[in-house]
Structure formats: structure tokens, C-alpha cells
Structure 1
Amino acid sequence: MGEFAIHLQNISKCFKRYDRPRDRLKELLLPGKSRASEFWALRDIHLEIEAGETIGIVGENGAGKSTLLQIIAGTLTPTTGTVKVSGRVSALLELGSGFNPEFTGRQNVFFNGRLLGLSQQEIRSKFDDIAAFADIGDFIDQPVKIYSSGMFIRLAFAVAVSSDPDILIVDEALAVGDVYFQQKCFERIRALQRSGTTLLFVSHDPGSIYNLCDTAILFESGHIVLKSTPRQVLDRYEANLIKQRDAHPNALAIQNSTNELIETSLEDVAVVTSDVKIQFVELRDDDGQKVDTIVSDQWVEICVGVLFLQDFSDPIVGFKIRDKTGATLFVNHTYNMNQPIGQVSQNTPITVRFRLRVPLIEGTYTVTIGVADGGFGEGQFKRALAYVHNTAVLQVLKNKAAMNWGGIINLNPTVTIDRPSHA
């Protein structure tokens, strides 16, 4: 086991909440009687993070993620517990934190650099690189209070990574800004990872968590409820969101009786109700034969058998393709494809077949199946009936007959070369 960059023991944080502003004043003038209620943002957090680890943190708004990061960054004091942090910490927390809105961008670079522990000479030597990375032009000499959110985060991120931190904390900051700047930020983050920087990364973007993080943590109501691989944590988080969105009283937690006809572990089941059973999921080739291995760019049919145990007026069936890390590559369903199943009565079995070309790089992929009732729009349904990961595994082999290509998906491009005509 390596050296710990962060060690948290028994961390809790309590905030006081007042129903009315004057209650706060009354408590000051008349001590001895509390007029506030307690809100525990964090409860008994124990966390050890090794130097060089990249940890993704997910959870709903108000779950305690930002409070934890502020405590690690030293901008907030815990109510109980001890915090041990080794090395220089650079944090991108709330938009605007650490910057004086009346100062120019240039002045804030020096001001924030000193907060990060850099000397004036170090900041001067790094300034040109900071300004070039932020790429905000002449606005560097304008007050930051006139900056757009995108310009602000450009400068804040450039300053944060310039200090060569031992620990970098990023709290949703990269959700702001254009795609080109985001790519530049991710490239810099990967360079910091290679140099051994410890990274704490909060994001609602699953793709970023999958691509950057070694481990992920799920927060719920001030508690760490799961620390595991990004795939397991994000699957659990997604399941929680689906269950909360679904107010149907028959929605059940994960149970052993789930989808008895499909051999799947409990962690693969995100949502299940007593209203449907997924009877089978099969992959078939163009001859109708079951397959689990194909070559890249081959056609395949995903066949889903669903038994509806209640009457439904507008059921929907869909699928998702994921790679070995759990990152989603493609999602679609009958609602999006304008192919309504139509009304079904109780105990009606339905088979839905999705035919698609698979132009993926060689590797192992899994199929997630979802069943819902009633569509409001893309990805929005009245009720989730079943949502099961890893219902089928597809091995994709290299297509030796195809041209060489790189990346994840073969877009099958064509090329035309125009030469100038000669008189």
C-alpha cells in the first residue's frame, strides 16, 4: 500500500438552519436558547486516498460532495473528526472562489497564486503559460467581474494547474466552457495524473468519471454508501435516479427473484417491478443463429422477450451498448425510433428485435435492457418497469477485410483528392 495523500477520520459537518433571519439575531442577543435546527451535511466519513489516485465522486445535489471537498481543501472546518492532507492542494470549487471580482485577471493570477503557495518570482515565471492556457486575450487586464462564466473558469483552471499541485480538486468546474477548452483541460489533467498528482473529481458526466478515474465514490445524504470501480458506482447511482424518478408503488429494490430466466448477478439489476419479466435476451446474426462473437461492422440483431404481467397502453423497450468499463456507447428504444409497441394486455409476451450494424473496435461489450411505460420525450418516461445491465455479452473481433482505422467507432469515411488542373 502506498503513501496516503488524504486521510479523513470520523469527519462530520453540521450547519445551523434558521427559519427566519431574525432568529439568528435573537440567538445572539439571548444566548442559552438555540433557535436553529441542525443539518448534518456529512456524517462519520472515513476515507483514505493514496497518492496518485484519481477518485470520482458522484451523488445528488445536497448529498455532501462539495462540503467534503471544501473540508479537504481547508476552506471549511469539520464539526468533528481529523483531516490529514499531504502536499500542496489546488482546488476548483465554487465558481468565483479565491478570486476578487474587482481585480483584473492579471492581478487575480498573482493573488490566487500566492494563496496556492507560489512566490512572486514563481508566478512571474509561470504567468505567460497561464495566460496562454486561459486564452482570454486582452481580458486578462480587465476586472474579472465582467467575465463570462466560461472566461472565468478558463483563468481559474489555468492558475490551479500552474501550481503543480500534489492534490487537485475539481468540483463540476469543467461543465462550464466550450468543448475545445474542455479537451485542453482533460489533456492537462492526464499529464498531472502521469506525474503522480492525486485528483478528486466531482462530475455529473459519467463519461468523464469512466475516462479519468481509477475509483469512484457514491454519496447519499452525507454518507459514503459505496466506494468501488467507476462502473459499479455509476450503475448504482443511475439506478437510484431511476427509482426516485419512478413514483410507482410497485417499484421494488433489488431482489433474488428478479428476472429468474436471465442469469445475472444482483449488481446487474438496477430497477425491477412486479409488472414485467424480461424472459430472454439473445444476439442473432443475419441467419437467425445465436451469436456472442462477431467481426467489426457486422450486422447483429438484439432480440428481447418481455412478458407483460399487467395491461399497458404504451410500453417501451430499449437497449444500451456499453464497453468493458461501463461507458455508454449507444442507446435507443422503440419510442425514439417511432415504432410503438401498442396496447398490450395482461400476460402478453412480446418479442422486440433491434437490428444494427456494429462498427466498433475489437473488444468486449455488454447489453443493457430497459422497459418503461409511457414516453414524455427522449429518455423521459412515466414509469420504469425494468432496467437490467449485462443481459448479453458481445465479443467484437477485428475485421481483417476492412481498412485499418483508429478510435472506437469506424465511421467508414470516403476520401476525395482534388489536384489543381494544368493549363
Structure 2
Amino acid sequence: MSSDYAINVSAVGKSFRMYDRPHHRLFQGLFAGEGKKWYREFQALQDVNLQVTHGETVGIVGKNGSGKSTLLQIICGTLQASYGDVLVHGRVAALLELGAGFNPEFTGRENVYLNGAVLGLTRREVSDRFDSIAHFADIGEFIEQPVKTYSSGMYIRLAFAVAINSDPKILVVDEALSVGDEAFQRKCFGRIEELKANGCTVLFVSHSAGTIVQLCDRAVLLDEGRILMTGRPKDVVAAYQRLLYAPAERRADMRRQLLERNESKGNVAAGRTDLDAVNLNAVNDDPTVRRARISVNDVSLAERYDAELKPASTVHYAENGARISEPHIVNAAGKRVNILVPGQLYSYRYTVEFDKPAFQVSFGMMIKSLTGVELFGMSSHADGEFISQVEAGRVFAIEFRFMSRFLPGAYFMNAGCNGRLENGSAGFLHRIVDADIFKIEQKATNRSKAGFYDLAAEPSCQFVEQGAATDVGVGFN
């Protein structure tokens, strides 16, 4: 296997023996030669192929039990694969679980030296870095106390501080950054960005879609031990969420379709994407690591509707008692637009039709960046104000008002309807990801600003049932 890859996983599988009774494990040892099995095999991973290049950041998503942690443990060498090959080039720093590698009876200081040795550092190297480790962990005098007295947040602070100060070539993180306060999480993400800039390879598991989109160059969807999709983080996260919220009777078919598409395309996300829909110029032909920029040839500042500006990445969730239609943006005069002007008031509208009775109903929206970062979202159930009951056949017109304070770029709109059905199931009654797109065009006067958003005014939402004798709605500012 080539050393061109920092991590090269080839046809890896892992199975575990599942015993129904504790004594069956003994029977298996005593009577193994008689041909009878006292266990069932659980296939945690099946023929997994994954190559990660040097300096790449790859995120892995999937529901609980999909095999994510098993795969990371095999890559880190703490678990042996049942078959297949794994080749890793460079020092690996891993955060696989809370406090892994710590002796609870040792003090924080003693565990720093112990953990450093596990990571391949000499005692002198750990001593030289100890002050930096202690400063990053920021647990004060507890560094001299046994770690069995630590809170979960203190555990992960110290473990992460040791890992990132070991100068790793490969950093493996398994959901560990969900522990700790916001300030520490931001410090961790900042340090990861610094490691990435220095060429460190990062393998990252998280249930946070925003984190995967924001940190990763590429994402992998793992389900039932098999890779269903590999590609741009935004596309993979959208597929994962669609699969996660799909009705149980449709999930198997969706999984099969993803698997067949992935195998036919050799684990590379292909096809036309939302990047193609907004006149982007790729600077790398590989769609898995594509970098793009918006074309700024047209610098017209007038708001208008461009019929060619349409999202090609729209994802429809399964309809579960409701159907969203006609998502679009209008200006203050009620005219449909998708080229917006900063500083003006706009309304995002869509229609929801119910074909089943529903309860505790609410409506929502989300504005996202081109790469899928969630910039702003809101729901109609402000202060807990749901619609208590909606009968089948009713239709609602939804409107979210917002002031355009976005900087030049392309932005995507989601639309969603939540509620509970008569059978008790709750969640999305319908949702559309990347339902609509709008664009703020480049202009020379704002080149000194960076980011996405520029001090927006307070938005508002209202909804009105269509066809009612008296308008029924709720609005808030």
C-alpha cells in the first residue's frame, strides 16, 4: 500500500462474537473442536476502503452503532481487524473515548507523562511541553490531584491538551469535543485549525453536522458497517440526515440506493452539485476536495429574479403527513427575487398542505452558506407557541421576514414543518434542504468586510391559514 496516503484502509472488516449467556463463552472454549458455535457473529465493519491523504481533514458521520468508533480504533491500533489491511504513516494522537489511557489513581501531572509516553514522547519532551499542556488544559491546581476526582470536562481538557501538544502527524477525534464549555470547544477547534495549517491529517467523528461541514475537507457516511457515500461534507451530511429521518419502511431502500451509487462511482461523490448551480469556478478537478469561488463578473446591484439561479442540491425528506411547496423569496413589493440587495427587507415564503391530522405543529427555516455552515434559523414556535392541532386538508402560507445584511456570496434556504401525528410519531412532517437559493452580488464598496453576515436587523415570522373565513395566524418580532 502506498505511503502517499497518511491512512490507507483496504477491504477491512471486523466481527464480534455475541454470546447469549455468560457460560456460553466457557462452552465455546471447551467444545470448540466439536464444530458447534455457542455464539452469534456481529459484523461491525464490512469491506471498508478509505484513503486519507496527508494534510486532509475527513469527517465520519453515521448513526449510533454504524461502526464509526470501531473503524477509528482499528486505525489507531487499539483493535485488530478481522480481515483487511491498515497502513498509517506518522505519529497518531487519538481521542477515542473520555479519559482513555489515564490511570484514575495517578495525578494529572503523572498522567501527562504516562500519556505522553504512550504517544511516543520521551520524558524530556514531555517536560519541555508540560507548561503548554497545563496552560491549554486550564484545570488549575487539579493538575496535582488524582484524575478520579475530575469531572468529565476536566478529563477531556487534559487528554486533548496532551494529544495536541505531541506534534501529531495524524489526529483522530471521536466525538470528544462535545464535552466542555463553549470557550474550551472554541479553543480546541482553533487548535485543530492550526494543526491543519501545519499539515496535520485529521480524522474526525461527530454527530454535529455543522462541525463536520466547517472543519472537514471530505466526509464519509458509514451505516451498518459499510461506507454508503464519500464526498463533500455538505452533500454527505444532507444524505445522512435524509436517511436518519426517513420512515423505517423506506430506510432500507434508501440505504441500498446510496450503497449502489457509491460502489458504481468508486467512493467518490460525483454529478452536478449546488456548486455548479451558481456559476462557480473550480480550482481543483477532484470533486472530493473541490475548492471554488463565486464568479464576480456581473456586479449589478439591482435586486431581481434570475431564472437560471436554482439549487441543484435540493434534498426532499419523506412526506409524513404534510407537504411543503413553492419555497421562494419576495421583496417588500411582493415581487419574487433571488438577487438581493443589502439593507433591504425580504420575505421567505412557502406553503404547507396537510394530508393527515397533526398536533403541536411548527414551521421553520434555515439560511446556510455555500459549504453548508448554518448561519441563521428560526421557528414559528417562539416561546412554545405551537399550533395545537391541524386537521387533514388544511393549507398554511408561511412567511419569514428578514433584513438582508449578508456579504457577497450565494446562500441556501431550508424549509421545515415539525409536529406529532395521531400514531404518536414526532419529528419532521416534511423538510426540504436547499429548497431555495439567493445571491448577494459583489461590489467594490464592501471589500473591507469578511465573513457571511453584517449586523442583520431582527427578523420575524408569521403564518396564516389559506381559505379560512377569518385569518388565523401568529406573528412575533
State the Cα deviation string for residues 157-213 of structure 1 (Å, max 9, x = none): 111111111100011111111111111111111111011000001111122111110
Name the residue aligned to 1:327. 373
Pairing partner for 2:329 from 270, 283, 304 = 283
- Distance in 1 (CA, whole Å) between partners of 2:312 and 2:339 is 25
Name the residue aligned to 2:149. 146
- Contact 1:251–1:271 at 8 Å: present in 2 too? no
- Distance in 1 (CA, whole Å) between partners of 2:226 and 2:248 is 24
Name the residue aligned to 2:239. 236
Q: Does 2:141 correspond to 1:156? A: no
Q: What percentage of residue pairs aligned between the two structures are identical?
A: 41
Name the residue aligned to 2:417. 371
1:108-119 mapped onto 2 (5 Å cutoff): 108-119=111-122
TM-score scaled by length of structure 2: 0.76
- Distance in 1 (CA, whole Å) between partners of 2:252 and 2:355 is 14
Q: Does 2:410 correspond to 1:409? A: no
1:313-392 mapped onto 2 (5 Å cutoff): 316-336=362-382, 338=385, 340=387, 343-346=390-393, 349-374=395-420, 382=426, 384-392=428-436
Q: What amino acid sits opposite 1:329 in the alignment? A: L
1:35-74 mapped onto 2 (5 Å cutoff): 35-74=38-77
Q: Does 2:306 correspond to 1:305? A: no
- Contact 1:296–1:397 at 8 Å: present in 2 too? no
Deviation of 1:274 after TM superposition, in Å, equals 7.9
- The DSSP-based 3-state class of the residue aligned with 1:6 is strand
Deviation of 1:396 after TM superposition, in Å, equals 2.6
Q: What amino acid sits opposite 2:25 in the alignment? A: R
Deviation of 1:109 after TM superposition, in Å, equals 1.2
- Contact 1:276–1:308 at 8 Å: present in 2 too? yes
- Distance in 2 (CA, whole Å) between partners of 1:267 and 1:2 is 35
Q: What amino acid sits opposite 2:426 in the alignment? A: K
- Contact 2:332–2:345 at 8 Å: present in 1 too? yes
Q: What amino acid sits opposite 2:409 in the alignment? A: G
Task: List alignment gaps of at least 5 residues for structure 1.
Answer: 256-262, 414-423
State the Cα deviation string for residues 57-104 of structure 1 (Å, max 9, x = none): 111111100000000001110000011111111101111211111111
TM-score scaled by length of structure 1: 0.85
Q: What amino acid sits opposite 1:111 in the alignment? A: L
1:87-98 mapped onto 2 (5 Å cutoff): 87-98=90-101
Give the stretch that moved more between structures: 77-86 or 333-342: 333-342
- Contact 1:251–1:272 at 8 Å: present in 2 too? no
- Distance in 1 (CA, whole Å) between partners of 2:322 and 2:115 is 57
Please, what is the CA RMSD of the aligned residues? 3.2
State the Cα deviation string for residues 18-53 of structure 1 (Å, max 9, x = none): 111121122223333321111111010011110100
C-alpha change, 1:163 and 1:391, in structure 2 (3 Å) is: same
- Contact 2:327–2:436 at 8 Å: present in 1 too? yes
Name the residue aligned to 1:15. 16
Task: List alignment gaps of at least 5 residues for structure 2.
Answer: 258-308, 458-477
- Distance in 2 (CA, whole Å) between partners of 1:42 and 1:364 is 39
- Distance in 1 (CA, whole Å) between partners of 2:251 and 2:76 is 43
Deviation of 1:326 after TM superposition, in Å, equals 1.2
The aligned length equals: 400
- Contact 2:320–2:430 at 8 Å: present in 1 too? no
- The DSSP-based 3-state class of the residue aligned with 1:30 is helix
1:174-323 mapped onto 2 (5 Å cutoff): 174-243=177-246, 246=247, 268-273=314-319, 276-309=322-355, 316-323=362-369
- Distance in 1 (CA, whole Å) between partners of 2:7 and 2:252 is 39
Q: What amino acid sits opposite 1:88 in the alignment? A: R
- Distance in 2 (CA, whole Å) between partners of 1:49 and 1:276 is 41
- The DSSP-based 3-state class of the residue aligned with 2:245 is helix
Q: What amino acid sits opposite 1:134 in the alignment? A: A
- Distance in 2 (CA, whole Å) between partners of 1:193 and 1:84 is 21
State the Cα deviation string for residues 261-319 of structure 1 (Å, max 9, x = none): xx988852241338554441221111111111222342111121344445656654432
- The DSSP-based 3-state class of the residue aligned with 2:32 is coil
C-alpha change, 1:275 and 1:157, in structure 2 (3 Å) is: closer
Deviation of 1:235 after TM superposition, in Å, equals 0.6
- Distance in 1 (CA, whole Å) between partners of 2:182 and 2:223 is 30
Q: What amino acid sits opposite 1:302 in the alignment? A: Y
Give the stretch that moved more between structures: 361-370 or 283-292: 361-370
Name the residue aligned to 1:79. 82
Give the stretch that moved more between structures: 312-321 or 36-45: 312-321
C-alpha change, 1:241 and 1:411, in structure 2 (3 Å) is: same
- Distance in 1 (CA, whole Å) between partners of 2:99 and 2:370 is 38
